[in-house]
Amino acid sequence: QVQLEESGGGQVQPGGSLRLSCVAHGNIASFAGLGWYRQAPGKARELVGFVTSGGSTYVTDSVKGRFTISGDNDKNAVYLQLNKAIPEDAAVYYCNAVSVVTVAGYEHRELWGQGTLVTVSS
């Protein structure tokens, strides 16, 4: 049993900063990737960024230069630092994990957090 705990969502002013955290809880042996998606009202869910267990990072072009993503393998965590927020950043942000293997040998192909709301308002 693995679950993703998201935190850090809330209101941010235009130009402001916010940090989202996601921690995978459970008896985890390994994972392939941890990342963040977002979905704005009326829009499709969009990949924002991810980290791999090998240390690679990726962020989508629309946030490159403003957002950074990082991970902590020991904590099975991924962090998304939102800087220079713009109204387009307002969305529900979802933590995503792929290929999570428990110590018992069970593989969760894909897991989702419940989502955390980020609003951009002055």
Six-digit token pair at 87?
Answer: 């109204």
CA angle 17, 32, 60 (to 5 degrees): 40
pLDDT tens string, the chain, 122 residues long: the values are 899 999 999 999 999 999 999 999 999 999 999 999 999 999 999 999 999 999 999 999 999 999 999 999 999 999 999 999 999 999 999 999 999 999 999 999 999 999 999 999 98
CA angle 43, 48, 49 (to 5 degrees): 160
Closest CA to 60 of 45, 70, 50: 50
Q: Which residues pair with 39 in a beta bridge?
A: 92
